Amino acid sequence: MAHGVTVRDATAWDAEALAAIYAPYVRNTAISFEIDPPTAAEFARSIENVRERYPFLVAEQAGSIVGYAYAGPLKSRAAYAPSAELSVYVDRASRGAGIGRTLYSSLEHELVRMGVTNLYACIAYPRVEDEYLTYASVRFHEHMGFRVNGHFHACARKFGRVYDMVWMEKLI
């Protein structure tokens, strides 16, 4: 686990810090296929919506929020209740310090407690690594026990380039 990192439930009060972490992913990478970063108010609504049913966690280090992770439904129908889709974002300056692993481990623990058995991640996938997207997220998920089980080709366009998408799965 990451040294000196505390994981706790997110609140609407965290929205500004989380929006600041996410915005560079939207503006400068193809990791997120959003084009415009959400505002702090939109983030606050998202936190509250997610927390109605799933965990939304933040990681703090030295008094600052350095990352977040949350779960959501794989699909909205009740039969999909044992499955959840996960997302994790770490402040760009704090990457590589184990914060994502710490967040995902905490999130997985909470989901197991809730009876979730299948975890999924939908990940942007470059045809060839470039300055906007590498295979780092896929490698991170593999390290966390996920395996690719679906590949969508040329399904997204950002920065004038075409990107693929992969679905990864972990059974817990």
3-state SS class at 41:
helix
- The structural domains of the chain, ordered by start, are 5-171 (3.40.630.30)
Give the pLDDT score at 92.
87
pLDDT along the chain (172 residues), means of 10: 88 98 97 97 97 97 96 95 97 86 97 97 96 97 97 97 98 94
User: With b meaning 16 or more CB within 10 Å and e meaning fewer, what string describes 136-166?
Assistant: ebbebbeebebeeeeeeeeeeebeeeebbbb
Give the pLDDT score at 1.
66
What's the CA gap between 93 and 82, in Å, rounded?
A: 34
CB atoms within 10 A of CB 77: 8
Give the pLDDT score at 97.
78
Q: Quick one: which of 48, 14, 26 has its CA closest to 132?
A: 26
3-state SS class at 155:
strand
What's the CA gap between 20 and 6, in Å, rounded?
A: 19
Give the pLDDT score at 96.
77
What's the CA gap between 19 and 108, in Å, rounded?
A: 23
Return the bridge partners of 151, or none. Answer: 166
Q: Say which amino acid occupies 159.
A: F
| CA 64 to chain centroid | 19
